[in-house]
Structure 1
């Protein structure tokens, strides 16, 4: 039999047959609730009840019954009810959830997940060979799900995702093509894909934006392309044509004059006359799939031949962004508009990189100046003393 341990102003404590202490307290609705765990010592149970009472007085108490929903169920509902998610984003969230989160934490009630558990989960991912980048993506998704549980649904009091640095990625530095390499890569492509390389790079376009261009989006006289839509590849559904990632993604981009002859030739030889004809298609006239493109053009061999083995197609946009940020007089707003971003963070990265490069140049010049000043002068001045002829030398 459990023994009753006295009376308290708030809640009660009793000693179990196991020797541990159980704490119970009344909620605002008058219904008694038990602490989720028992305590080895009575003062620990008393401290727990004092904390619960203080939370109620401050209006911060959350019914623990609300937080008993399993993480896998809540996360799936979170994805389904999340507004304005693109189909590809939904697919990536569900893939990340099913691959890296729910196998480890899916059966845990939300209110039982704590920071040490999150830290152990992340360490296990890394120990099993998951990259730091992928682990950071999974961590950010988990944090976003639990933040909604805290702030919007009030299922738990605090977000347990408090592992310092767990949200940070350290991806390898991506290559940036030189201008000669850009044109060399385009020339190695089959003739119908040469303009795709130039437009994607110099226009700072994403793959989905480039392959969604239609004849009506190209103005050869003005030298511009208009981005107003993008293709998204969705497994199980196929290609979905929709708006760009954000409102800022709808934009008109000017191309350098050097790229226009190739684009003009492409438009006349490979694009239908109808305004809605897609600009970049396969040999059969069908829309290009990203997953098939590399094999179609022997991408690995081509990028290795121009001196950038391992280059990804997305690095063409990265190259274009870098070139844009180096343009004299290009402001942060100008770079954001060209990239199609409504958040300055990405544009600031390019500006910061260029400032670092410029500072490196300045440091190198400064080093050369200091080295030159440290060298002793080799010039010798001859002093002629009257009557002595050319005699003593003095520096």
Structure 2
């Protein structure tokens, strides 16, 4: 039903089962008729959603979505999602969720690319947005997901960083410098460099994961980040990493008197290793070839690399 108001606007009142479910005003009669037809079409198809529910802010729905994911995803994934949700407000967070269109999403992502944000970060944000709007569809807050089919523009991006692994001699030079500050910390550096283990894999290594026969090796089955629960390694594949004699000579003495569930590498206090504390103990910034040598942690199995000259 469409009626004309004293102001000259057209008032639409869509009824369903004798109840007004969707009132809205328009300046033009044509727009009012089109909107009324669309609401009735959705009611007939059984996909109608009260437009008033779409007046909720994106930021509020995002907070609900985030709360619904707690315990459903890993703690590290949830923390990453939370980080991106907190950055929604400047772009889309203060908008009514029902007013967000695909064009507006693409525009917001394009602005981030133009501002110099890494494309990988913008892609992650796009995935978070899609999850939020998908949740809104399931909860019948909006009819469709405006992120469906959205593509992140390529942008200029940053040139790929060229790296090369440290040679054995360079690795031993680093370890020799670190031994002046911490023998146990330097041993961790050497073991990482000889095996290529990720930081999370080394810190979660237990006595039961070490074998001597038929060949010395360690079994990698979990790879937690600092402060997060243990999880399967990247790619969800467990693997056996053989140990060269030098690596075995590091780990063998650490097994004596330990129970199978004990961690192999621990802090001086016997706690599980923490990356920041370990780096401090070996004076990482001053001993590891300065800024040219870095630890890639869980991002690369090639642990100790230096930037190649350009």
Q: TM-score interval w.r.t. the shorter chain? A: 0.7 to 0.9
Partner of 2:151: 164
- CA shift, 1:146, in A, is 1.0
SS at match of 1:231: coil
Partner of 1:33: 22
Q: What is the TM-score normalised by the length of structure 2?
A: 0.76
Would you say 1:192 and 2:179 are equivalent positions? Answer: no
Alignment check: 8 A CA contact 1:229 1:242 kept = yes
SS at match of 2:3: strand
Q: Which runs of 5+ in 2 are unaligned?
A: 304-310
User: Deviations along 1:35-84, whole A, 9 cap, x unmatched?
Assistant: 3xx43321122122222222222222222234343322322222222253
Q: Which runs of 5+ in 1 are unaligned?
A: 1-11, 234-238, 321-395
SS at match of 1:143: helix
Whole-Å Cα distance in 2 between the matches of residues 89 and 272 of structure 1? 37
Change (3 A) 1:315 1:274: closer
Change (3 A) 1:170 1:123: closer
- CA shift, 1:298, in A, is 4.4
| Structure having the higher Rg | 1
- CA shift, 1:94, in A, is 1.4
Whole-Å Cα distance in 1 between the matches of residues 18 and 189 of structure 2? 66
Q: 2:207 aligns with which of 203, 212, 215?
A: 215
Would you say 1:108 and 2:95 are equivalent positions? Answer: yes
Would you say 1:225 and 2:218 are equivalent positions? Answer: yes
Would you say 1:153 and 2:139 are equivalent positions? Answer: yes
1:299-378 matched pairs, under 5 angstroms? 299-300=284-285, 304=289, 309=292, 311-314=294-297, 317-319=300-302
Alignment check: 8 A CA contact 1:139 1:166 kept = no
Alignment check: 8 A CA contact 2:266 2:273 kept = yes
- CA shift, 1:131, in A, is 3.4
Kindly indicate whether structure 1 or structure 2 has the higher relative contact order, using CA contacts under 8 Å at least 6 residues apart: 2
User: Deviations along 1:145-173, whole A, 9 cap, x unmatched?
Assistant: 212222x3232122112542259996653
Partner of 1:140: 127
Would you identify which runs of 4 or more consecutive aligned residues in structure 1 move more than 6 Å?
Answer: none
- CA shift, 1:21, in A, is 2.7
Alignment check: 8 A CA contact 1:68 1:111 kept = yes
Q: 1:244 aligns with which of 222, 229, 232?
A: 232
Whole-Å Cα distance in 2 between the matches of residues 169 and 269 of structure 1? 51
Alignment check: 8 A CA contact 1:143 1:159 kept = yes
Alignment check: 8 A CA contact 1:62 1:157 kept = yes
Partner of 1:377: none
Alignment check: 8 A CA contact 1:71 1:110 kept = yes
User: Deviations along 1:162-189, whole A, 9 cap, x unmatched?
Assistant: 54225999665354544x6266335523
Whole-Å Cα distance in 2 between the matches of residues 169 and 202 of structure 1? 37
| CA RMSD after TM alignment | 3.5
Q: 2:42 aligns with which of 33, 55, 75?
A: 55
Q: Report the count of equivalent residues.
A: 293
User: Deviations along 1:88-112, whole A, 9 cap, x unmatched?
Assistant: 22222212211x1134433333222
Partner of 2:250: 266
Alignment check: 8 A CA contact 1:175 1:311 kept = no
Would you say 1:95 and 2:78 are equivalent positions? Answer: no
